[in-house]
Structure 1
């Protein structure tokens, strides 16, 4: 039995739009078994891979290996190494507690899990750094996938890719799955990713800091969240974010954390103001839940594209969460909360 575990992640972290990400302690798990002594089932599963699934999205996640994001990603990795399908009698059981479409990196975790699945069933021996190249051909925004793969609090950037490679139909794209499925089997070998297309640095994280995730019960599609962003920004707004980004990456490493410094450093003018139309109550929540009103709070921001709210805190977790839950309820939105910690090891593979 092979077990692949990939943490969820929160991207952007205040001013760090498309730059910062932190892995958090909700884990996508794959239990993988290759039973070479099994009898051939009838009908034969697609691409030699049968899938079972439990958890978030169980009522609509595709269980055909050609269309499921995890196995479609694994197939892309295998095809880059001249392997057209999974080893015979491969079974993948997926356990997913990560909410879908809520800003906690569910598609990023699926892409990382898929690349790792392709690596292990194909016995390819790829390093984490090399596997990241495959992840970034599929998920073009590095913040979520880099945090999920490498773990902890990371900053990252992606090198410019060859437009011809980006247009290849054999490469599944996380943002368009599951409709259409993304990636077409054209009978051609997909292009292997260039070496080192994603670069990252791990920042420190003060041991006192935990993350409160307030998760509303509606989804925001990444495409919709990007559609509301402006095509250009003023120099004033960009400087505002640059200044706070430079401070925040060090402020979160300091122990004990400075709440006043961190709260102001987590302000943003690049994406949160434009996404308020998609998330009722967002502006009021970000402005009114402060270290003064709720001692123990350090900072608050939209998690990824939302609608999840991420509050960093050292204490008073339940009262902070209850206040945000109350404000969502006033907007007619039911939500829940979880107390999370950084997943410093990132994605892992174990054998038993």
Structure 2
């Protein structure tokens, strides 16, 4: 059995849509999976071998299936279905072009790919709606995982959960991973996710709009980016964002796009102003690059927790990219850039015929 799983990267927040809006983009994490059914025994840990190429290299990505995020998530889902290990013998080659820790949903893609992996090798027959529940047991940001799972431009929300479910912020390691019990498999079944943890809705996206991703060559850990946010907000700032988030999905779905409408709808006072201390040049970029100064530009925002900047545009992509890269360079920061489009299909599994 051979198949390939493709999970797109994603950009969360999109201006005023903090923890609400996500956009799947055309840069894909790929898992090339082969299950050799001719084997009856395996010397590999949990019957699973991993190889890796791409961002970060093998030095920063574990090849141990008990520690690699993708296989840990898959193991969690499998054990919820009374399968203690991967089928004999499972080999996974990971190809990852998504920059790690740069605000393009690398962990969200990994979590979704892990759930998909378990569904395929375990022949679980899970619906995407149920897969979302498993994803949200691991990654509590529905904007990234819903975008990566379903594809396109999505709005999301979490249901109010019981206290014991809210407090469970990661895979229950002691019940899932043998390393946490001295290398002995306890045989415990992990807790299944509640039904319908979160919901999503796909918005329209004008076909003319493409995304210029400016990717600085440094990381901003999500935990650090959240730490700089205030514990409470002024009412005027909350209203400011609510007014714009109500209009943004309409603005980005209309064809032809209205640059002024989109630019004003992408303004934010909830997260971007507080993250400027972590991203040199952010304030200057958000204030100086406009549709009037750069024809073709529609709007500009921080992608996720950053430091990647996402510029939405209909033309002059290279000129816009070079302007933003030059602004970062004045702060001593080198950048890469990519022109991306929405990934409307979300995560897929394709079998080799």
- TM-score, normalising length: structure 1: 0.94
Q: Distance in 2 between matches of 1:172 and 1:253?
A: 40
1:339-350 equivalences under 5 Å are 339-350=339-350
Matched, 1:96 2:96: yes
Q: Distance in 2 between matches of 1:194 and 1:172?
A: 14
User: Are the equivalent residues in 2 in contact too, given 1:154–1:201 (CA < 8 A)?
Assistant: yes
* Secondary structure at the counterpart of residue 242 of structure 1: helix
User: Are the equivalent residues in 1 in contact too, given 2:138–2:169 (CA < 8 A)?
Assistant: no
Q: Distance in 2 between matches of 1:185 and 1:167?
A: 24
After superposition, what is the alpha-carbon deviation per residue over 1:92-140, rounded to whole angstroms, capped at 9, x for unaligned? 1100000000000000000000000011111000011110110011000
* Secondary structure at the counterpart of residue 155 of structure 1: strand
Q: Distance in 1 between matches of 2:186 and 2:208?
A: 51
Give the structure 1 partner of residue 20 of structure 2.
Answer: 19
Q: Distance in 2 between matches of 1:172 and 1:212?
A: 38
Q: Distance in 1 between matches of 2:351 and 2:145?
A: 23
In structure 2, list runs of 5 or more residues that go unmatched: 174-179
Q: Report deviation, 1:333.
A: 0.4
Q: Distance in 2 between matches of 1:39 and 1:250?
A: 56
Give the structure 1 partner of residue 51 of structure 2.
Answer: 52
- TM-score, normalising length: structure 2: 0.94
User: Are the equivalent residues in 2 in contact too, given 1:137–1:166 (CA < 8 A)?
Assistant: no
Q: Distance in 2 between matches of 1:290 and 1:112?
A: 35
Q: Distance in 2 between matches of 1:98 and 1:267?
A: 26
Q: Report deviation, 1:39.
A: 7.2
Give the structure 1 partner of residue 69 of structure 2.
Answer: 69
* Secondary structure at the counterpart of residue 299 of structure 1: strand
Runs of 4 or more, structure 1, over 4 Å off, are 166-170
Q: Quickly say closer, same or farther: Cα 1:27–1:169, change in 2 above 3 A.
A: closer
User: How many corresponding residue pairs?
Assistant: 341
Give the structure 2 partner of residue 233 of structure 1.
Answer: 233
Q: Distance in 1 between matches of 2:123 and 2:186?
A: 24
* Secondary structure at the counterpart of residue 192 of structure 1: coil
User: Are the equivalent residues in 2 in contact too, given 1:111–1:135 (CA < 8 A)?
Assistant: yes
Q: Report deviation, 1:162.
A: 2.8
Q: Quickly say closer, same or farther: Cα 1:100–1:190, change in 2 above 3 A.
A: same
After superposition, what is the alpha-carbon deviation per residue over 1:175-198, rounded to whole angstroms, capped at 9, x for unaligned? xxxxx9xxx965421111111111
Give the structure 2 partner of residue 36 of structure 1.
Answer: 37
In structure 1, list runs of 5 or more residues that go unmatched: 174-179
Matched, 1:162 2:162: yes
Q: Distance in 2 between matches of 1:162 and 1:35?
A: 42
Q: Quickly say closer, same or farther: Cα 1:47–1:167, change in 2 above 3 A.
A: farther
Q: Quickly say closer, same or farther: Cα 1:80–1:169, change in 2 above 3 A.
A: farther
Q: Distance in 1 between matches of 2:185 and 2:265?
A: 46
Q: Distance in 2 between matches of 1:10 and 1:130?
A: 22
Give the structure 1 partner of residue 242 of structure 2.
Answer: 242
Give the structure 2 partner of residue 140 of structure 1.
Answer: 140
* Secondary structure at the counterpart of residue 123 of structure 1: coil
Give the structure 2 partner of residue 8 of structure 1.
Answer: 9
1:206-225 equivalences under 5 Å are 206-225=206-225
Give the structure 1 partner of residue 265 of structure 2.
Answer: 265
Give the structure 2 partner of residue 177 of structure 1.
Answer: none
Q: Distance in 2 between matches of 1:29 and 1:8?
A: 11
Note the aligned Cα RMSD (angstroms): 1.6
Give the structure 1 partner of residue 253 of structure 2.
Answer: 253
Give the structure 2 partner of residue 176 of structure 1.
Answer: none
Q: Quickly say closer, same or farther: Cα 1:172–1:98, change in 2 above 3 A.
A: farther
Q: Quickly say closer, same or farther: Cα 1:185–1:239, change in 2 above 3 A.
A: farther
Q: Report deviation, 1:60.
A: 1.4
